[in-house]
Amino acid sequence: MVILAVDYGDVRTGLAVCDKSETLASPLCTIKEYNEDKLIDAVIEKAAETGAELFIIGLPKNMDSSLGERAQKCKSFAEKLTDKSGIPHFMRDERLTTVSAHLALNQTDTRGKKRKNAVDQVSAVIILQDYLDYKKNKENSGD
């Protein structure tokens, strides 16, 4: 199944997609959009282009696992996205993905404007790959 991951942001939203075998997450694009309705339409358009059948939405939990204002905003966005597209979603803990994305970009010496445009995509890749690994481990353990 093709899965589209969304790292939702107020200004920039990163997207990543996996292959049909659900093995490898790859960056897709960053959408720069302030208007939530327009953003939802743009994400749905990317889902149609890629043939996505599931959204994985990053859920920014607090370090104590509680859900703050940002997490509630992401949950609301995910529900609107599913309602409008008919594509189901799954929320995935995204704690520290932005930190991991910045570390990965440090290793490739990505700086300036390129870094700003890439960090959300890299975060989406981390969220999606984490989900794919979790799913594969769950299937292999027989749960």
Q: Would you state the pLDDT for residue 45?
A: 98
Confidence of residue 97 (pLDDT cuts 50, 70, 90): low
What's the mean pLDDT in 54-60? 93
The percent of residues in the chain predicted with pLDDT above 70, rounded, is: 81
Q: Would you state the pLDDT for residue 61?
A: 78
Q: Would you state the pLDDT for residue 136?
A: 85
CB count, 10 Å around CB of 110? 17
What's the mean pLDDT in 102-106? 51
User: What are the pLDDT digits (tens) for 111-137?
Assistant: 555 545 666 777 888 899 889 988 888
Q: Would you state the pLDDT for residue 125?
A: 87
Tell me the average pLDDT of the chain. Answer: 84
Full-model pTM: 0.84
Report d(CA 84, CA 47) in Å as an integer.
12
List strand residue ranges (DSSP E) for 41-86, in order: 54-59
Of the two residues 134 and 56, the one the predictor is more confident about is 56
Q: Do the beta carbons of residue 15 and residue 121 sit within 8 Å?
A: yes
**Which class is domain 3-141?**
alpha beta
